[in-house]
Copies of this chain bind each other. A is one copy, B any other.
Amino acid sequence: MRRTLQHPARIVPFAFVCAIAVGTVVLMLPVSRAGDGHAPLITALFTATSAICTAGLATVDTATYWSGFGHAMLAVLTQLGGYGIMTMATLLGMLVSRRLGLRSRLMAQVETSPGIALGEVRGVLMRAAVIMFATEFVTMLIVTVRLWTAYDEPFGAALWEGAFTSIQAFNNAGFALRGDGMLSFVADWWICVPLTLAVIVGGLGVPVLVEVTRELRRPVHWSTHTRLTVWGSLILLAVGFATVLGFEWSNPGTLGPLGVTEKILASFVQGTIPRSGGYNTVDFSAMDTDTLAVTTGLMFIGGGSASTAGGIKVTTFFLLAYVIWSEARGEPDVVVGRRRIAESTQRQATSVALLGVAVVAGGTLILLGLTSGVPFDRVLFEAMSAFSTSGLSTGLTATLNEAGQIVLAVLMFVGRVGTIAVASALALKTRRRLYRYPEERPIVG
């Protein structure tokens, strides 16, 4: 226990295990369930994991299975999970920068020290809380007013749904209070746009949000991390948008019946969501295989570091793209906008991405063994959705047996804390170089 806490990178998995345990117990209380009795262990464990990891995958119908109290608990767990990952990942990132003796751009006004001062921790906790509540509050206001005025919901019900949905959106989770998710809002700009913007903001990450708000008018001052995340996110959003619009335009099960402006709105929503949002306004089980394939790739990349989004992260993906680009140009260094990327950072990115591939491949193989007759791409999609904590589903999750649910829960947990733990643990425990072996260059390719 003490040893666990001595290693900062181990705190994240440890905290998440504790939170999941508490969440499971709470969801197993009879008061959490709408029907008689209490939720079975596996259902409560899966749902708590999904909420804490801000995935939003569900094995039961969220709307009808859980009571009002259960829904409130889901919102609390999602909020805790999202806030926890944002703040812990930010602090770990700062610790890594400090240990490596680099100026932290995030907290530029504070003097650099080998550890993190209590005041700085408080600063991160405060900033993350302000960002989170401000985004959620604005989103909630718009959604609530819309539900109240356009859908004739009573004010209380509209407020509750607005709050719940905003929490789900900012935290990039995807639990829905309606049985059909968000399908009925496919053409509603007042619902779709604020929620999708909340997903994007939540998915940028604390370091980026702090820097962008501080130096909004001077992008030239942004750190490499912020520039990679912002421009990379825009590129990925454009790819997602174009993919959905292009492949689904005339698909009768998805965009086909919609008008042109609604097609554009739905593509904006569904092109954003793979970056880890999780709610859907169109039916993913009816989507074209091409769309599912690109979506699977986008889910793998995910959102920004130290954000509520999952995946290997935007920076990891684009750093690797730069590594390949530099290699193709024969550059000795990997340079991103006049900044050289540390060799150790390149190695971290390679490790995070390849371990991600290995985890998803392993999970897919196990799930294939546990199901029968389910096409490979559906199984891969579901495994990727869990690993990247996107929470999108083509319907497979609800049909899995208990072993399959446990596999998905493990994927959500590993996806949520794994990339952060891997990236920071490694950076923090780098051993000293006492001697070096002679160099060798095996033939590659």
Whether a CB of chain B sits under 8 angstroms from the CB of A50 is: no
Residues in B whose Cβ lies below 8 Å from that of A224: 440, 442
- In the complex formed, the residue of B with least CB distance to A306 is B443
Please determine whether B420 and A331 come into contact, CB atoms closer than 8 angstroms: no
Residues in B whose Cβ lies below 8 Å from that of A97: 441
User: B-facing mask of A274-308, CB < 8 A → 1, else 0?
Assistant: 00000000000000011011100100000001100
- Bound form: Cα–Cα A112–B102 in Å: 42
Nearest chain B CB to A165 CB, angstrom units: 29
Nearest chain B CB to A334 CB, angstrom units: 8
- Bound form: Cα–Cα A205–B442 in Å: 13
- Bound form: Cα–Cα A320–B367 in Å: 26
Whether a CB of chain B sits under 8 angstroms from the CB of A43 is: no
Residues in B whose Cβ lies below 8 Å from that of A351: 323-324, 327-328
Whether a CB of chain B sits under 8 angstroms from the CB of A339 is: yes
Among A289, A336, A338, A369, residue most surrounded by chain B Cβ atoms (within 10 Å): A289
Please determine whether A440 and B342 come into contact, CB atoms closer than 8 angstroms: yes
Count this chain's copies in the assembly. Answer: 2
Please determine whether B324 and A290 come into contact, CB atoms closer than 8 angstroms: no
- In the complex formed, the residue of B with least CB distance to A103 is B440
- In the complex formed, the residue of B with least CB distance to A313 is B445
Known: A297-B361, A324-B350, A419-B445. A439 touches B340 (CB 8 A): yes
Residues in B whose Cβ lies below 8 Å from that of A289: 368, 376
Which residues of A197-229 are within 8 A (CB) of B?
A: 205, 207, 223-225, 228
Residues in B whose Cβ lies below 8 Å from that of A316: 444-445
Nearest chain B CB to A96 CB, angstrom units: 8
Whether a CB of chain B sits under 8 angstroms from the CB of A42 is: no
Residue from the list B306, B327, B437, B441 in contact with A333, Cβ < 8 A: B437
Residues in B whose Cβ lies below 8 Å from that of A294: 365
User: B-facing mask of A349-369, CB < 8 A → 1, else 0?
Assistant: 111111100000100110011
- Bound form: Cα–Cα A378–B343 in Å: 38
Residues in B whose Cβ lies below 8 Å from that of A305: 442-445
Residues in B whose Cβ lies below 8 Å from that of A96: 441, 443
Please determine whether B341 and A441 come into contact, CB atoms closer than 8 angstroms: yes
Please determine whether A365 and B444 come into contact, CB atoms closer than 8 angstroms: no
- In the complex formed, the residue of B with least CB distance to A207 is B443
Known: A320-B354, A433-B333. A315 touches B444 (CB 8 A): yes
Whether a CB of chain B sits under 8 angstroms from the CB of A332 is: yes
Residue from the list B100, B340, B344, B355 in contact with A438, Cβ < 8 A: B340
Residues in B whose Cβ lies below 8 Å from that of A297: 361
Please list 20 pairs of residues, one from A and one from B, whose beta carbons are closer than 8 Å in the complex, sorted by A's number: A96-B441, A228-B442, A293-B364, A313-B444, A316-B444, A316-B445, A320-B354, A331-B430, A333-B433, A333-B436, A338-B437, A342-B439, A348-B445, A349-B444, A375-B375, A375-B377, A419-B445, A420-B445, A422-B445, A423-B443
Residues of A with Cβ closer than 8 Å to B? Answer: 89, 93, 96-97, 100, 102, 205, 207, 223-225, 228, 289-290, 292-294, 297, 305-306, 312-313, 315-316, 319-320, 323-324, 326-336, 338-355, 361, 364-365, 368-369, 375-377, 380, 419-420, 422-426, 429-433, 436-445
